[in-house]
Amino acid sequence: MGYKQELKRELSLLQNFGVSFSIISVITGIPSLFLYGLNTGGPAVMVWGWIVVASATMLVGLAMAEVCSAHPTSGGPYFWAAMLSEPKNAPLASWITGWFNLLGQVAVTTGISFACANFVSTVSTFGTNFMPTPNTTIGIYAAILICQGLINTFGVHLLKYLNNVSVWWHAVGTSSLVIAILARAPKHQSTQFVFRTFIDGTGVNGSDGWGTRASHAYVCIIGMLMAQYTLTGFDASAHMTEETHNAAMAGSIGIVMAIGVSAVLGWFLILGLLFSIQDLNATLASPTGEPVAQIFLDTVGERGAIVLMVIVIGAMFFCGTFSITSNSRMMFAFARDGGIPGHSFFKVVDTKRASPVRTVWLACTLSFLLALPSLGSAVAFSAATSIATIGLYISYAIPIALRVVYRKRFVRGPFHLGVFSMPIAIAAVLWIGCIAIVFLLPQANPVDSQTLNYAVVAVGIVIVYSVGFWLISARTWFTGPVRQISGEETNVAFLACY
């Protein structure tokens, strides 16, 4: 690929898969947006929307895996965009893709670790007089980010072992949780409730929901955010390829496996939670603020609920830790190619730990700043999840679209879709185009300063900054991916990937 081997190449296929699987983390995404899902379409949209989104996401993953196999580097989508463009347009394509990927990476970390902070706040109320406030939740969030940053700084040699623990924690923890609540639930909801009940709770302060103001179809569409946000972040397998053996195959298989396993496990979790709801109204209006916590309390009691909450919080912590790992690798790669302000500072790799420590803390800092609107906005968290979904998926779409447009420039890697390559790539781009618009739309009615979906603001800022800065300055000096080595050195590095 033309880069020096600065990161330790010690991850296996299972560990590469584990990073994406841990970041997708169905036990993080589903519980953190469960209230949103119940209010925005209810059980029917949650169950069937998951199947629709999982199927479409698999198409996106397959298209990405094909490109990843041809270009296995830490830069991921922004590197692919440069390689698949016409040479004269490569710097611009790489620049725009890189900034959208960076936005999505930061927002994903925010959504994951802020959800962890919310659940820590919630479990702290069990059997105590503690009353969480936005200020205390932000404080807990900051502490979680610091812990995750320290692990990625001083424990980088332990990440591959922590990765193995995370995979088993997610798989066994999710299965055990579902079995526990189903087995101990005093009663179970009917199949009619789980598979056919539609709920429009998008109205706030007594206002009509979007189902009345617009249509039920609108509610169904925006209700798929829970599924699409959860099935996000699998580009981590690409960002970890410079640390993975046989990267050209392992990175691609890691992407596809992470989506497939998460899709099955996630549907199992959704069904388990919905069947275990004891009283829908009480669950929606839970004093804990988290419907999932209320389901735990209603089914297994307070002590059992604490155990299940620990399982969820542990998964969220693992998820956030590896999100920072992936995030820091992307930022390091982008800085290495001169794509971010202060790139000379941020492209430095800590020689003792063979890790981009500076971008680890850049990722933590930016993620903390993105969560600050939660101090004054009731829908800030769902907006952050929208930002993550839009930012990442746009960065996925650009190289896939370029692979379609400039198909003759594409040199396949060992993982290839054959005759299905073009149809799958086109379908993936069309799906991403739809969700990029849908998740910018208002999620609560009426729209005011408290309910504004500020995803449109964040995405707008990135578009204005990336395009504006490109026109003003970057077009004169940003050349896209920088080749550090050539000739025989490149052939040696090539063999390490393939």
DSSP tag of 409:
G
What residues in the chain have per-residue pLDDT under 70?
Answer: 1-10, 376-380, 482-498
Beta bridge partners of 11: 244
pLDDT number for residue 495:
47
pLDDT number for residue 54:
97
pTM: 0.89
pLDDT number for residue 486:
54
Exposure string for 157-190, b = 16+ CB within 10 A, e = fewer: eebbebbeebbebbeebbeebbebbeeebeebbe
pLDDT number for residue 493:
47
- Rounded to whole angstroms, how far apart are CA atoms 348 and 386? 31
State pLDDT tens for residues 20-43: 898 899 999 999 999 999 999 999
- Nearest to residue 340, comparing CAs of 466, 445, 247? 466
| CA dist 131 → 77, 123, 127, 286 (Å) | 43, 11, 11, 14
Greatest distance between any 2 Cα atoms in the chain: 69
